[in-house]
Amino acid sequence: MFNYKRWLKISGGLSAGVVMLFAATLFASSEDVIHIDQFISPDTCSGCHSEIFEQWENSMHSLAHKDPVYSRVSQFLRKGLINEGEIKEAESCVKCHTPVGYLTGFPQKLSDDLSKTPEIATQGIQCDYCHSAETVKQMYNNGLVLKPGQGEDEPGIKYGPFDDAEPDFHEAEYSKLHTESEICGTCHDVKHVAFGTDLETTYTEWKNSPYNSKDPQQKITCQGCHMYQRPGIPATGSTPRPENPGAATDYSDERPHIFTHYFVGGNASVPGQFDGEAKGQMAIERLKNAATLSVDTSLIQQKKLNITVSNTGAGHSIPTGVGDLRQVWLEITIQDKANKINFQTGVLNHRHELSKDAVIFRTIFGDGKGNEVINIAKARQVLKDNRIKAKQSVTETIDLSVVPEKDAMIIVRLLYRGMPQKILNLIPGKPFEPLPIVEMAKVQKRI
């Protein structure tokens, strides 16, 4: 049953409630301005939604502001820029990575003193942010329009998937938006704020994929994979996505499916730095069920090897998101009968860097004149995009230096890591540990 005493403790008592009601009338007259005190901490939501809270805690959403890879990379990219458009882009990160702060006035830009970020805004993409979203005004660069309540004493409406919820603490309303990819897509499509270059296109990739089917039975939204995952159940396009029966709070009635809130992608290292090792493991499970490999040796006498990578599990390209940073590549090894290596490509050197000849699936940005840039702030064009689209395959022809001898073994692995070591090595300060390398798929064949 609902524990009224606990609720009183949460809300801080009725007298404060009266003050807040008064404040609410004041706020209502100054429309559009949303104040930081209107947001309720995830800790309060955890009082009743404890399981959902534990899933979200140390997820990449909860860490969007604190993530050391993001923080250090973004500060590094901001340095030394003089072009106005480039500066504008480099300052814009907080809009998605610190959304509660950005919406309520601080920080407004990356070069603000981020140590002054209000505590609640350091908690990244949080419960009350997503569940106060009413509509979307544009489908990129975070176009969510919010209608939060007035803090804990007047929590207002929390929008969600149920049309019959009657919570005691807050009001509840069914929201179609929350059941659709668009609530995710408005942040998961990123455009350069000055040059319009498509920097991240996860939503567009999904929208143009077979997963965005007109047939409701065939359609799989972002939530349909990512909010069905739980430990041991990766819930990808190539694995079952069973429902997760349970209750939304510690005392509510059971429902056929409770959407999980782990929000796991490919990041197997950052959650572990915040006690989220289990999420690192879930990222590995997701990556291992995303793609398959096959080898065609019919042209081996011509010193050629055809390798096909198929995207069987992701609802978007592999890799997606920051496709200029993520590295998905082929490691190819040919061994003779005595296990001596005759040919190898896609191997890291002693500095954990990949050789130039490696086949890497990624996007490359250009400066507008055809030269590669690694700073997204300078991205005026997409020079190259050879990522593997949803439910599609890519065949790469590898030129071998020699014809492998009879009975040689060909071993091909598809590997993933979050970022090139070359970029991490550029960042001043304490050196980054090499990021984990996850084997997404492996195939071997004897000639």
Which residues from 135-194 bind ligand HEC, rule CB under 6 A? 141-142, 155, 158, 160-162, 165, 167-170, 172-174, 178-179, 181, 183-185, 187-188, 190
Stretch that binds ligand HEC, among 18-26, 220-228, 297-305, 362-370 (CB under 6 A): 220-228
Encode 326-359: b = buried (16+ Cβ within 10 Å), e = exposed. Answer: bbbbbbbbbbeeeeeebbebbebeeebebeeebb
Cβ distance to ligand HEC smaller for residue 225 or 334: 225
Q: What residues between 33 and 62 interact with ligand HEC by CB under 6 A?
A: 40, 42, 44-45, 47-49, 52-53, 56, 60-61
> Taking CB positions, which residue lies at the least distance from ligand HEC?
321
Helices (H) and strands (E) in the chain, counts: 14, 17
State in Å, rounded, how far the first CA of the chain is from the last one: 67
Q: How far is CA 236 from the centre of its chain?
A: 15
Q: How far apart are CA 421 and CA 74, in angstroms?
A: 16
284 binds ligand HEC, rule: CB under 6 A: no
Measured between alpha carbons, how far is residue 131 from residues 160, 188, 428 in Å?
A: 7, 17, 38
Cβ distance to ligand HEC smaller for residue 182 or 331: 182
* Strand, coil or helix: 399: strand
Q: What residues between 55 and 94 interact with ligand HEC by CB under 6 A?
A: 56, 60-61, 63-64, 67, 69-70, 73-74, 77, 89-90, 92-93
282 binds ligand HEC, rule: CB under 6 A: no
Cβ distance to ligand HEC smaller for residue 126 or 345: 126
Q: What residues between 253 and 272 interact with ligand HEC by CB under 6 A?
A: 255, 258-259, 261, 263-267, 270
Question: What is the nearest approach in angstroms of ligand HEC to the Cβ of residue 342?
Answer: 32
CA dihedral 349, 352, 353, 358 (to 10 degrees): 70
285 binds ligand HEC, rule: CB under 6 A: no
Alpha helices in 252-292 (DSSP H): 277-287
Tokens of 68: 């050391």
Task: Lay out the site mask for ligand HEC across 301-330 (x = CB under 6 A, - = otherwise).
Answer: ------------xxxx-xxxxx---x----
Task: Lay out the site mask for ligand HEC across 352-391 (x = CB under 6 A, - = otherwise).
Answer: ------------------------x---------------
Q: How far apart are CA 250 and CA 347, in angstroms?
A: 49
Of positions 20, 103, 120, 125, contacts ligand HEC by CB under 6 A: 125
Question: What is the nearest approach in angstroms of ligand HEC to the Cβ of residue 216?
Answer: 13
**Which sign does the torsion angle of CA 143, 99, 420, 280 carry?**
negative
Task: Lay out the site mask for ligand HEC across 388-427 (x = CB under 6 A, - = otherwise).
Answer: ------------------------------x---------
Measured between alpha carbons, how far is residue 274 from residues 171, 271, 424, 434, 435 in Å?
A: 32, 5, 20, 17, 15
Residue 107, preceding peptide bond in cis (omega within 30° of 0): yes
Cβ distance to ligand HEC smaller for residue 283 or 400: 283
Strand (E) or helix (H) holding 413: strand 409-417
> Which residues have a Cβ under 8 Å from the Cβ of 353 and sit 6 or more positions away?
420, 421, 422, 425
Of positions 58, 226, 282, 365, contacts ligand HEC by CB under 6 A: 226
Strand (E) or helix (H) holding 29: helix 14-29
Of positions 58, 197, 201, 202, contacts ligand HEC by CB under 6 A: 202
Cβ distance to ligand HEC smaller for residue 284 or 305: 284
237 binds ligand HEC, rule: CB under 6 A: yes
Question: What is the nearest approach in angstroms of ligand HEC to the Cβ of residue 25?
Answer: 21
95 binds ligand HEC, rule: CB under 6 A: yes
Residue 319, preceding peptide bond in cis (omega within 30° of 0): yes
325 within 8 A of 418, measured Cβ to Cβ: yes
- In the sheet that holds 304-311, the strands lie side by side as 291-296, 304-311, 393-399
Question: What is the nearest approach in angstroms of ligand HEC to the Cβ of residue 82?
Answer: 16
Of positions 286, 288, 378, 417, contacts ligand HEC by CB under 6 A: 286
Cβ distance to ligand HEC smaller for residue 10 or 300: 10
Question: What is the nearest approach in angstroms of ligand HEC to the Cβ of residue 369?
Answer: 21
Q: How far apart are CA 418 and CA 69, in angstroms?
A: 10
